[in-house]
Amino acid sequence: MAPRCNHCGASAEIYLDYARLNLCPACFKKFFEKKVKSTVSKYGMIKPGDKVLVAASGGKDSSALLFALKQLYPDVELKALHINLGIFGYSDECEQKFRELVEDLGVDFVVFDLREELGISMDDFRRTVYRRRLCSPCGTIKRYLMNKLAYEGGFTKLATGHNLDDVAEVLLNNYLHGKVEQLVRLKPVLPSIHPKSVAKIKPLWETTEMEDLLYASYQGIPFRTVECPLSAGTRSLRWKRLINDVAGKVRGFKHTFVKSHVNKVLPLLERSTPLPPLVECKSCGMPSSSETCAFCRRIQLVRGPA
């Protein structure tokens, strides 16, 4: 006998192992949006008067995030940001899917094209010391630009599509390598610690990658389906496979792992490991932990000596 939806009794298509729930597509969409709204409320992510910039890559997670926030918070001032990284055979499709989505939603947006604005692309890092770990400079550049554009646009919150799988992977990696300062920064809401640093929020903190995919698919949201060619074989993907293997044997492992960090470990770390104050980069004036920020150093690496 086919399973029935635990909420309405209709034929179920989805089984959420950690929650022991069978859901039909309609009830799953409501379940997903309720979870996102609960996460936003629990951590005080969006408050009256907030201006929220939503970083959307064109992938399933950030596209699901933008769609859900538009449905749940129609009165909140939202704007979508897309960064075209100039990756051959990949970035243009990402931008196309992003533009389809914002047009469907009627959301104001901005596109920052690395090639047009900075005269470089992520492909240029193939000829640097980062050629075998291109995700490192890519992450640095995206974080810098997202914050800079949010700050310059007068936004009070920057929302990203990091999901539970992403958080669990980063958490495991930081624990194994003893990256205490990174562990302190890994939280659902990262407050501003500098006048030019915009508070970061992760509304998909409690949704899994599979749930994001299902929601995007059932809602008919346009999103890119090809994987980034620069991320093939990266360590983060191997960590995610390991975590999924454990989660397949231990019910609710990801949720328990992340919840334990937030509720038990993080408060202890925050008391014992205060984050160092930020200064302003001598080159660009944006927040930095050193005299010259990581973004400026990466860009200079590609452009060569001035």
Give me the mean pLDDT over the 139-168 stretch: 97
Give me the mean pLDDT over the 182-196 stretch: 95
Give me the mean pLDDT over the 42-56 stretch: 97
Q: What pLDDT is recorded for position 306?
A: 56
Give me the mean pLDDT over the 47-57 stretch: 97
Q: What pLDDT is recorded for position 305?
A: 62
Query: Which of 130 and 184 is assigned the larger pLDDT?
Result: 184
Q: Report in angstroms the alpha-carbon separations of 19 from 52, 232, 253.
A: 30, 31, 12
What average pLDDT does the structure give for the chain? 94
Give me the mean pLDDT over the 228-247 stretch: 84
CATH 3.30.70.360 for the 29-218+233-303 domain, yes or no: no
Could you write out the DSSP letters of every residue in 12-80?
P-EEEGGGTEEE-HHHHHHHHHHHHHHHHHHTT-S-TT-EEEEE--SSHHHHHHHHHHHHH-TTSEEEE
> Residue 58 above 70 pLDDT?
yes
Give me the mean pLDDT over the 164-190 stretch: 95
Q: What pLDDT is recorded for position 233?
A: 62
pLDDT tens digits along 62-75: 999 999 999 999 99
Q: What pLDDT is recorded for position 286?
A: 98
> Residue 185 above 80 pLDDT?
yes
pLDDT tens digits along 136-148: 899 999 999 999 9
Query: Which of 263 and 305 is assigned the larger pLDDT?
Result: 263
- Name which of 99, 43, 25, 22 is nearest 66 in CA terms: 99
In the chain, the amino acid numbered 170 is V
Token pair in block for residue 56? 């959307």
Beta-ladder partners of 111: 82
Verdict on whether the full-model pTM lies above 0.85: yes
Q: Are 286 and 195 in contact (CB under 8 A)?
A: no
Confidence band for 303, pLDDT divided at 50, 70 and 90 = confident
Give me the mean pLDDT over the 229-236 stretch: 75
- d(CA 185, CA 14) in angstroms, rounded, equals 34
